[in-house]
Structure formats: C-alpha cells, structure tokens
Amino acid sequence: MDLEQSEDKASLRDLWIITKGQRVKYLLAILAMAITNACMFSAPIVGGHAIDVITLQNFEYADQFLLSFGQYLFGEVSFIGYLWIAASVGLIITAFGGLFLYARGRLAALASESIARGVREKLYEKLQDVKLSFYDGEDTGDLVQRCSSDLETLRVFLASDIIEIGRAIMLIICVLPVLFVIHVPLALWSICLMPFLVIGAYLFFSRVKDVFLLTDESEGAMTATLQENLTGIRVVRAFARQDHEINKFGNRNAVFRDNNRRLIKLMGIYWPVSDMIAMSQIGIVLFAGAHYVMQGSLTIGDLFIFLTCEGMVIWPVRQLGRVLTDSGKAVISLGRIDHIRRAETEESGFVPSTGRALGGIRAKNLSFAFDDGKQILDGFSIDIKPGETLGIVGPPGSGKTSLIRCLLKLYPYQSGSLEIDGQEVATLNRHWLRRQIGVVLQDPFLYSRTLRENLSVGRAKASQAEIDQACREAAIYESIMEFPEGFDQRVGERGVTLSGGQRQRLALARALLKDSPVLVLDDSLSAIDTKTEQLILKALQNRKGRQTTLVIAHRLSSLAYVDRVAVIDRGRLVQLGSHEELSVAPGLYRRLCQIQGALDDQIRSDVEQYGTQSDTQS
C-alpha cells in the first residue's frame, strides 16, 4: 500500500512538472469556468423570480434590479413585460456563459495540446539518448504504444477531466449554500443520495484502475506482436509461418478483448446505477418540493431554482465516476510514459580540444560483461597505431563485436582502459567520439528514403563527386546507375528492396563518405561475391594509411591486405601478427586457415565436377 501511495505521489509530481509553461492557461480556463458557472447559476434564479411574479401576480417576488431596469426603460412594467425582460436577461446571461464556456474549452485544449506536443518531443529526444541496454529488454511496439496511445490518454485527461473535477467541486461549494439559504429542509433532501454517488464513483475508480492497466498492457503486447510481424514479414513468408503468426496475434487480440470487455462491463454496471441514483435524487427533490409548495413554505419559483440547481450539481457529481476513471487511466499512462522519461541516459563526457582524432587505439586489461553477468572481454589488451589496418578474427562470441561496442561507447566497460589518441573512451563526449568512427555492420540498417539520403547520413554536405567516389570504392556505383532514378531511387523499409550485397556495399559507401579517422568493418563483406570483394579490397588497400581500419571477418580472404591480424578467443588476445606469420605459426589462426582452405578446396572440386558432368551430358 505504501508503495502504491508513493507511486501516486510521484505521478502527481510528474503531472505538475509537465504542465510547466501552460499553468497560466489552466488558471484562465478555471476563471472562465467560474464565470460560466456563475452565469449558469444566475439564469435559473432570474427564471425562478419570473415564475413567482407570474404565478403569484405579485411584484414583491420580482428581482429588484430587473424591475428597476424595466421601469427605467418602459415606465410602468406589466407582468407580461417583466416576463419578457426576465427571459431576455436569462438568454443574455446564458449566451455570456456560453462564450466563457467556449473560452474555457479552447484554453484547456491549447494547454493540453502544447503539453502533449512537448512531452512527445521530449520522449523522442529521450529515446535518442537512453543507454543502449534499455532497448535490450523492451519491445518496440510497446514503446510506440507508450509514446502514442498512452500519451493520447494523458492529453484527453489534461484537456477536459482536470477542468471537470474543478467544475464539480466549484458547483458543490457555490450552489449548495444558496440552496440552504432558500430552504433548509429541501436542501437536505437534495443531497441525501449524493454520498452514494461519491462512494460509488470512488469504488468504481479503484476497481477500473487495475483493469485499465491490464487492458493497456495487453494492447501494448498486441501492438508489439503486430510490429514484430510486419518487420519480419519476409521471414514469416519464407518459413510459411502465416498460420502461426495469425494464431499468435489472435491470442494477443483475445487477451486484449477480454480485458477490454471487463472494462466495458464495469462501465456498464456503473452508468445505469449512477443514472438511477441521480434520477432518484431529482425525483426526491421534486416530490419533497411539491410537498413544501402545498404547505406554503416554498414558492413554485424556488422549486424551479432547486430543480435546476440540483441538475447542475448532481450530473457533474455523477460524472465524477467517468472523470475518476479517466484520471486512473491518466495515472497509469503517465507511469508508463515515465518508464521512458526515467530511463538512464548515456553520459556526456568532454570534447577534446584537438578536434579531429588521429585514430590511435589502445586497450589495456579491458573487461566487459553484459547486465546478466556473462563475461565477454576478459583482460583484453592491444595497441593500434594511427592509420594501421587491423584484422580481427575469432570464434563466435569471442568478443569481437563487443570490442567495437565499447569503442563506440554503446556499452560501458567494467574495468581496464580503452583509449583513442590517449584519451579514455569512457570520459569522451559520445557525439564527438562517434563522429570519429565510421561503422559498417554485417546487417546494415537503411532508412526508407532515397539512396542519396542514406549515403549522406554521416556527411550531409558531401558533394556529388565525393558521393560518386565513395560509391565506386564500395563497388556500388554501377548498381545505383542501373536504378530508374539513380541516386534519387527510394529504398523500402530497412532497405528491403535491395539485395543483401547491395545493402552492405551501400553501407560501406556511407562509411567511406563519412571519411572518419577510424573505420570499422564488422563482417561487412559477408554477402558480397568474391569478384566484387576483390574490387572492394583493392579500393580499401589504396586507402591504407588514410584512416585506422578495423576489419572483423570470418572469411579470411578479407584479411589479405591488412597490416596485422588480432586473434581473439574467450575475450582475450591470443595471437597478433601478419597474415603470413600467423598462417604458419601453431595456433587458432592456422587452424582457421586450414578449415577454410579445406572448405574452399571442396567447393572448387564440387564446382569442377559439376561442370564436367554438364559437358558430358551435353
């Protein structure tokens, strides 16, 4: 219970924080609402006096201001004349109240939309800066749900429900004392069922809050399933998994439907019951008022005022159930939004005064493990000179890619040292650091934009000549020229309209165009044929010395031009030397060469045998 209370308090604090800059609009909206309520309350009083004047044929029950105003305009005022004056004033008051009602709605809408936009932009900015480990345990679809549906729930609450709560409280505070002044016994009758409405609204709120949380989370799971399916639709088709995915989505959809049905069922119980209580309350006022009218202690006009004011109070109180429900939804949604807002961000670090890095990299006793405690790098040490080309090989899971992640400051290393140009990576500004490193991943990500926009990600102001040169070095220029729109050809989401080799070559051209001091190729030629690979390797060899290049490769032919080869096994550097040296020295690298050499020989033998059989058949 204490934990829930602390979470609610935190949510209220967060709600107060996000309204910063819009509180004046809310204050003006509340002022407009107060004027609206005053007009709504004044109109039935004017009408009540007019009814008494007409039914009792006595100007003693008239409003003295209206009577004096009528006498000023017309001299002597008849009963019908007074009725017209009262009706006209009632219409003016109602119109005036409607004007401020519009102002209240507009101010609240402007404030809520501004808050929603600000929160949406801050969430997007936050998602750019959170630690990469945050995404390891999150579903993309659920994050989208938090930034869209949950934010919309919060916006609706800020647009109307806060004002409705204030309106109900203000009406109760202002109207009930007046009713007690007019007739105490009837005023008591007019509030006898209100406690049941308030208690029912609170109980409904307490129950529906938990159900909404389940509904919201099940909707997030359904959205995540849909997003995952659409992203991997080609894998689904390739493995004929449509039926499985349909059943999977159907199960998620069924859970969402069941939870939503529980929510609707609770509402279906609350609204009829609250309607019955509200109508019963009005009926009690009507019958009790009629009794007092027959006794002579209450006029018909006062009964009209009571009935009108009762409706003004009872329905907002009844609406508290909906308002509290939306409040519960907003609290839940705010908590889900705060899950992103409270996520840890990457550390900033300092920007070196040297500007562009030279590219010297040194690791000493570097150790890195994921949050689950699994050790990836264990005392890894190496010294890479500026401009050197280093090949990195090792078994899967040996720590090759993790070394690059630490170098890019995507994940923090636990101990040891990792430096670039003598500056500790952990202390460097992450934006400056990543501008110094161009990366080509094995499965590169491409935006659903034109080829030119994808190439210019790392260097927006590159000239066409520079783009052409980078594409030629990556052996992708001719392929681009074959597209109908050339560099202006749009690619599908994640580059699905390109082949795997084209995506890798385009990503390589993007990294070469960036022209950073450090270039990292993480098994980035795996989807490229041998002939094209040789063209790319020749181009990279011509660039040797211009930038420090780290080449992670499983295909050892990619390491033919490197200066040295580092062999990593179980997070440690086990061999370091040239390709020629390591290929003859006992150790892991020679075994890899032998295995890959035997595999290449077998492939050549199979190809030659197939060719001989084809010639014989011909």
437 and 571 co-located in one domain? yes
> What is the model's pLDDT at position 381?
93
- Mean pLDDT, range 43-60, rounded to an integer: 77
319 and 415 co-located in one domain? no
Is the pLDDT assigned to residue 365 strictly greater than 90? yes
Model confidence at 558, pLDDT cuts 50, 70, 90, reads confident
Task: Examine residue 614 and state whether it is found in any structural domain, yes or no.
Answer: no
Model confidence at 72, pLDDT cuts 50, 70, 90, reads low
Domain that holds residue 307: 2-341
pLDDT in tens, 280-333: 888 888 888 888 888 888 888 888 888 888 877 777 777 776 777 677 778 778
Helix (H, G, I), strand (E, B) or coil at 193: coil
> What is the model's pLDDT at position 4?
43
Domain containing residue 463: CATH number: 3.40.50.300
pLDDT in tens, 459-507: 888 889 999 999 998 888 888 998 888 989 888 776 777 877 888 888 8
> What is the model's pLDDT at position 565?
92
C-alpha dist (Å) from residue 131 to 126, 250, 435: 10, 33, 18
Domain containing residue 203: CATH number: 1.20.1560.10
> What is the model's pLDDT at position 321?
65
Task: Examine residue 594 and state whether it is found in any structural domain, yes or no.
Answer: no
Distance of CA 614 to the CA centre of its chain: 59
**In 296-367, alpha helices (H):** 300-341
Q: Each residue of 285-297: b (16+ CB within 10 Å) or e?
A: beebbeebbeeee
Task: Examine residue 241 and state whether it is found in any structural domain, yes or no.
Answer: yes
Structure tokens at 240: 């004929």
Q: How many CA atoms lie within 13 A of 251 on its CB side?
A: 6
Task: Examine residue 353 and state whether it is found in any structural domain, yes or no.
Answer: no
Q: Which of 405-419, 435-449, 598-612 is predicted least confidently?
A: 598-612
pLDDT in tens, 87-103: 888 888 889 888 998 99
Task: Examine residue 611 and state whether it is found in any structural domain, yes or no.
Answer: no
Helix (H, G, I), strand (E, B) or coil at 490: strand
Rg (CA), the chain: 37
- Mean pLDDT, range 434-447, rounded to an integer: 85
548 and 500 co-located in one domain? yes
Helix (H, G, I), strand (E, B) or coil at 411: coil
pLDDT top residue among 129 and 212: 129
87 and 131 co-located in one domain? yes
> What is the model's pLDDT at position 564?
92
Looking at residue 428, what DSSP letter applies? Answer: B
H or E stretch covering 574: strand 572-577
Is the pLDDT assigned to residue 430 strictly greater than 70? yes
Q: How many domains does the chain have?
A: 2
> What is the model's pLDDT at position 292?
87
316 and 392 co-located in one domain? no
> What is the model's pLDDT at position 2?
41
pLDDT in tens, 202-248: 777 777 777 877 887 788 788 878 877 877 776 777 778 888 888 88
Mean pLDDT score of the chain: 82
373 and 253 co-located in one domain? no
> What is the model's pLDDT at position 328?
72
312 and 416 co-located in one domain? no
321 and 372 co-located in one domain? no
Task: Examine residue 349 and state whether it is found in any structural domain, yes or no.
Answer: no
Model confidence at 150, pLDDT cuts 50, 70, 90, reads confident
pTM of the model: 0.70
503 and 381 co-located in one domain? yes
Domain boundary among 341, 372, 403: 341
Task: Examine residue 256 and state whether it is found in any structural domain, yes or no.
Answer: yes
Task: Examine residue 607 and state whether it is found in any structural domain, yes or no.
Answer: no
Which percentage of the chain shows pLDDT scores above 70? 92
189 and 264 co-located in one domain? yes
Residue (of 197, 243, 516) closest to 359 by Cα position: 516
pLDDT in tens, 170-206: 777 777 787 888 888 888 888 888 888 878 877 777 7
- Mean pLDDT, range 363-384, rounded to an integer: 88
Q: CA 516, 522, 526 angle in degrees (round to 5)?
A: 125
314 and 378 co-located in one domain? no
Q: Are strands 375-384 and 518-522 parallel, antiparallel or unpaired?
A: unpaired
Q: Are strands 564-569 and 518-522 parallel, antiparallel or unpaired?
A: unpaired
326 and 463 co-located in one domain? no
Model confidence at 12, pLDDT cuts 50, 70, 90, reads low
The count of other CB atoms within 10 Å of the CB of residue 6 is 10
> What is the model's pLDDT at position 597?
64
> What is the model's pLDDT at position 11?
60
Structure tokens at 265: 């069922």
